[in-house]
Structure 1
Amino acid sequence: MTEIHSKERIRWACRRGMLELDVLFMPFVEEAFDSLSKEQHATFQRLLECDDPDLFAWFMGHETCKDPELNSMVSLILDRVRV
């Protein structure tokens, strides 16, 4: 699979059922995804496999993700989108 197809699939996976998540994921993918390491790419892809209610709770600060890698990615996304 080429890099372009991979990024297109990531963009598609970022389209969620909740607008609040779309507003976080889409700018992150457009502005920061390319600068991530391969490990961070894998972590981001794992994050996209999580259920929307869990993602919403993590991003809104209602809960903390117990997986340290995913929790780190949530923080990274929030930091990048706030800039």
Structure 2
Amino acid sequence: MTTETELNRLFWHSRRGMLELDELLVPFVREAYAGLAADDQARYEKLLSCEDQDMFGWFMRRNQPDDEDLQKIIGLVLEHSRNRRRG
């Protein structure tokens, strides 16, 4: 179970200072993170430990991480973003 304190911590770590990343990560952590399975929550936290430039390239589909866990969470974040836009 995700506590309010944990969600607040993740919210602030999701704010990267790069608009493109903020527009993907902040809504994801606010709207989807709490409903994720524990494995996917761990993947999201792992993603937050990555460099912004790496994440930017992954989310813009310029390249992809070698790590399958990161590939999965990136897919979930992008799917969430697409669903929000359809809305």
Which aligned pairs between 1:1-83 and structure 2 lie closer than 5 A?
Answer: 3-83=3-83
Letter in 1 for 2:8: E
Q: CA deviation at 1:17?
A: 2.4
Q: CA RMSD in A?
A: 1.0
Aligned mates of 2:30, 2:13 — CA distance in 1: 13
- Normalised to the residue count of structure 2, the TM-score between the two structures is 0.90
Aligned mates of 1:13, 1:43 — CA distance in 2: 14
C-alpha offsets along residues 29-71 of structure 1, whole Å, 9 cap, x if unaligned? 1111111011111110010010000000000000111100111
Q: CA deviation at 1:79?
A: 0.6
Q: How many residues are treated as equivalent by the alignment?
A: 82
Q: Which runs of 5+ in 2 are unaligned?
A: none
Query: Deviating runs (4+, > 2 A) in structure 1?
Result: none
User: How many percent identity over aligned positions?
Assistant: 40
- Normalised to the residue count of structure 1, the TM-score between the two structures is 0.94
